[in-house]
Amino acid sequence: MEVVSENRSFGGRQIVAKHPSDACGCDMTFAVYLPPQAEEGPVPVLWYLSGLTCTHENAMSKAGLQEHAAHHGLAIVYPDTSPRGDEIANDEAYDLGQGAGFYVNAVCDPWKANFQMYDYVTDELRGLVERTYPVTDRHGITGHSMGGHGALTIAIRNPDRYHSLTAFAPITNPTCSDWGRKQLSAYLGDDETSWTNYDATLLLEEHGWKGDILIDQGASDQFLDLLKPESLSAAMARRRQPGEFRMQRGYDHSYYFVSTFAGEHVAWHAERLI
């Protein structure tokens, strides 16, 4: 593993690293924030999954999580959103290919050779983080937009591996949205029964979540029709799933929205992880 950069931040260390990935068949870059408490011993981990077009750097620079993580004593891991490189399959559209991995394991060409983001996040990168940094096996997960979709689906499918769950403006029902049907058909094929493993609304209705869930959604989000927050909120009600689904008046889809509520999300995870 190669350390690309390291900076002091709120008494802790903000690290960017690169490593060869077996899951994705290429070099992958990720970031990890270690709070000052990590110098005294292992700390719990909060995973932040980013949205369409983002890299590890967007949330690292704009979400403002480090100050809150330092206060509570949590490490933050920011994976990339897809494999990248000249030899990696891509598409001219911003919402497919590089920068748009959707946290799935692709089974169709030309994507299946590299786009194994579900396995990368849940297994390979997690193992690397636990072997390399002073962290415990207490992990929480959150994310924004496409990353919120990833956080919800990954946690619901792996309740034994994640102990807290939140999301910012997640894509909640991709099997019924243009932000989802296009990508799921490209990565997984035309058999829509295989798509359900990557739809938070359908997964929650079938399995529920072992704990409580916090969802924040901007009420002035320009992508509400694609995100379909009503689908997940209705599923939570039907399932009688403990949690909070908050429509935040006046907020849009940007990192201004994410950073505004980042402190509340980090505190939510800290209460459940520490």
Confidence of residue 175 (pLDDT cuts 50, 70, 90): very high
Query: What's the pLDDT score for residue 36?
Result: 98
Confidence of residue 1 (pLDDT cuts 50, 70, 90): very high
Catalytic residue among 68, 253, 265, 269: 253
Confidence of residue 147 (pLDDT cuts 50, 70, 90): very high
Quote the DSSP letter at residue 215: E
Confidence of residue 120 (pLDDT cuts 50, 70, 90): very high
Whether 62 and 258 have beta carbons less than 8 Å apart is answered as yes
Query: What's the pLDDT score for residue 62?
Result: 98
Question: Around 204, how many Cα atoms within 13 Å sit in the side-chain half-sphere?
Answer: 26
Residue 265, C-beta contacts closer than 8 angstroms, at least 6 positions apart = 142, 166, 168, 214, 216
Name the residue among 179, 167, 141 with its Cα closest to residue 53. 179
The question of whether 221 is a catalytic residue gets the answer yes
Domain with residue 119: its CATH number is 3.40.50.1820
Query: What's the pLDDT score for residue 77?
Result: 98
Averaged pLDDT of the chain: 98
* Distance (Å, whole) CA 192 – CA 219: 30
Domain, as residue range, for 216: 2-271
pLDDT tens sequence across 23-67: 999 999 999 999 999 999 999 999 999 999 999 999 999 999 999
> What is the average pLDDT across 223-240?
98
Place of tokens 């403990």: 242
The question of whether 145 is a catalytic residue gets the answer yes
The question of whether 253 is a catalytic residue gets the answer yes
Query: What's the pLDDT score for residue 100?
Result: 98
Catalytic residue among 145, 164, 177, 231: 145
> What is the average pLDDT across 159-178?
98
Structural domains in the chain (count): 1
Helix (H, G, I), strand (E, B), or coil: what is residue 202?
A: helix
Confidence of residue 160 (pLDDT cuts 50, 70, 90): very high
Catalytic residue among 221, 233, 265, 269: 221
**Burial (CB count <10 Å: 0-12, 13-18, 19+), residue 107:** middle
* Distance (Å, whole) CA 75 – CA 57: 16
Question: Around 105, how many Cα atoms within 13 Å sit in the side-chain half-sphere?
Answer: 11
Query: What's the pLDDT score for residue 177?
Result: 97
* Distance (Å, whole) CA 175 – CA 192: 8
